Amino acid sequence: MLAFIWTASVVGLFVWNNHLAQNQTNEMARQDAINAFNKDQALRSWATSHGGVYLEVRKNVEPSPYMEHIFERDVITDSGRLLTLVNPAAIVGQIMDEYADLYGVQGRLVSATPLNPRNEADTWEVEALGRLETGSPEVTAFTHIGDKSYYRLIRPMVATQACLKCHGFQGYEVGDVLGGVGVQVPMATYEARFATLTNGNALSHSLTWILGFIGLMAWHVRGIRGVRARQAARDELTEAYNSLEILVKERTEQLYQAKKGAEAANTAKSKFLASMSHELRTPLNAIIGFSDLMQLNLDGNLTKEQQDYIADIHFSGTHLHSLINEILELAKIESGEIRVHIDTVNARDVLSQSISANTPMLEKKNISLKNACADMDIPLLATDENRLRQIFINLISNAIKYNDQDGDVVIESQPSVENMWRFSITNTGPGIPTERQNEIFMPFHRLSENTHKIEGSGIGLTIVHQLVMRLGGDIEFSSTPGETTTFWFELPIAEENYSA
């Protein structure tokens, strides 16, 4: 569509420019014709104003037969030279004939009823003269004479008094149209010129058209490319979006499966632990019960060696029993089966009860325990009393178990970060090797080969850790191997104490 408009515009412009060139050429021909006319007219007017001009008679200057009736047509000078009167038409005619090359465009005096038949008007001129007589100031036309084209212009020759000197006898009066001056401009040169202009025009317009067309094409192609590029980008985006969606679905599914798997594994573990505890505890109770009974040696027939074995059986059974209990406990805590009952708790009392529970062990290892909290003003805690006791007993018994013979245990207490209260239990002893400190709260963790004699499951600390977390507290430890080990934990203070 744009190409069509462009083509039409250029063609239109070309036609218009050609039209202008044509007009210009024609105007030039006309101007040349008028110039020629005026020049001749000036010459004729001048000759007329002198009533003709006397020239010496010689070849081409003959007394005019058409002026025989004129007074003093021929004059003889004193020296005997013969002069004759030459009329304006003849003067211009002679100049034209003799200096044709210089003269250029030629005009011609014509009449429908000429004195000189040479001046007889041709068909076009006769018709034009008719129009001049009826008052037209001029008649022009582009016509052919023979096979050549001409611009023709004719203007009237109106009789003045001066003209009548020679033309009066023809019956003309002042104001009559005596005839006309015709000018014929051959169009060949102008046509050649016009052709050149047209060719130039054609060339420049073609170039313009081609350039414009190329521009249009380039623009169009770019437009198409742009559209294609945009489409491609859109497609790519859609594809990316779709694949992303698929990916998200896949990942979600994988996550879901993993979660389901984890949940199933957890449930299975809990079930396994629960049933294992039950299956194990029943026969174990029999072992403990009967070995206990045998230890009494009611019949008195057991040897010392046998009694030692039975004591061993009883001890191991009891140990296994507490181990199973702890495993069960941990399983319950981890599966969220254990509930805690938050209450306002007097931690100082719970602490002293827990110390008492450990007294036999303290005495056995001759360990001195210093409770720095005994007379302290400890705020009430928002926690579960039984769980707190469990935590205390466990940490204190650990502090004794992993202590040297005749070692020390120190229990301290202090406020911690906002609304938390901290207890720390420090013991002397070998401590925890640095490389194992990061697994201290993991289940079934037992310290060093030397501790195999120490009674315990290795999951006590795991349980304590879980319980503290459950109670909204925190637990940590620090240990310098060979010197001291401190476990501290902190729990929320009961709201009643906030203002205090």
Binding-site ranges for ligand HEC (CB under 6 A): 48, 51-52, 64, 66-67, 85, 87-90, 109, 111, 114-116, 119, 157, 159-160, 162-163, 165-167, 178-179
The radius of gyration computed from the CA coordinates of the chain, to the nearest angstrom, equals: 70
**Minimum distance of ligand HEC from residue 92's CB (angstroms):** 9
Nearer to ligand HEC by Cβ, of 161 and 405: the residue is 161
Closest residue by Cα to residue 76 from 104, 92, 51, 54: 54
Closest CB to ligand HEC among residues 167, 314: 167
CB of 142 to ligand HEC, least distance (A): 24
What is the strand order of the sheet 420-428 is part of?
Answer: 368-371, 408-415, 420-428, 484-492, 474-479
Residues 6+ apart with CB under 8 A from 205: 10, 11, 13, 14, 17
61 or 454: CB nearest ligand HEC:
61
* 32 versus 40: smaller Cβ distance to ligand HEC: 40
**Residue 255 β-bridge partners:** none
Q: Is residue 484 within 8 Å of residue 427, measured between CB atoms?
A: yes
Nearer to ligand HEC by C-beta: 65 or 300? Answer: 65
Coil, strand or helix: which one is 16?
Answer: helix
The CB-of-176 to ligand HEC minimum distance in angstroms stands at 9
CB nearer to ligand HEC: pick between 70 and 276: 70
Least separation, in Å, of the C-beta of 124 and ligand HEC? 16
By beta-carbon proximity to ligand HEC, the closer residue of 66 and 402 is 66
- Beta carbon of residue 121, minimum distance to ligand HEC (angstroms, whole number): 9
Least distance (Å) between residue 14 CB and ligand HEC: 45
Rounded CA separation 197/203 (Å): 10
| Residue closer to ligand HEC (CB basis): 163 or 310 | 163
Closest by alpha carbon to 280, among 288, 290, 292, 291? Answer: 288
Nearer of residues 179 and 443 to ligand HEC, judged by Cβ: 179
Distance (Å, whole) CA 136 – CA 114: 21
User: 410 has which bridge partners?
Assistant: 370, 426
For 214, the token pair is 């190329």
DSSP label of 437: G
CB of 163 to ligand HEC, least distance (A): 2
Which residues, in sequence order, are CB contacts of 56 under 8 Å at separation 6+? 81, 82, 83
Instruction: Give the nearest residue (CB) to ligand HEC.
Output: 163
Q: How near is the Cβ of 165 to ligand HEC at its closest, in Å?
A: 5
Of 73, 109, 78, 72, give the one whose Cα is nearest residue 91: 109
* Least distance to ligand HEC, CB of residue 94, Å: 9
CB neighbours of residue 29 within 10 Å:
25
Phi, psi of 379 (to 5 degrees): -70, 160
Residue with tokens 């060339």: 203
96 or 362, CB closer to ligand HEC? Answer: 96
123 in Cβ contact with 114 (< 8 Å): no
Min CB(181)–ligand HEC separation in Å: 8
Question: How far from 203 is each of 11, 207, 492, CA to CA, in Å?
Answer: 12, 6, 99
Separation CA 489–CA 500 (nearest Å): 22
Burial 228-240 (b: 16+ CB within 10 A, else e): eeeeeeeeeeeee
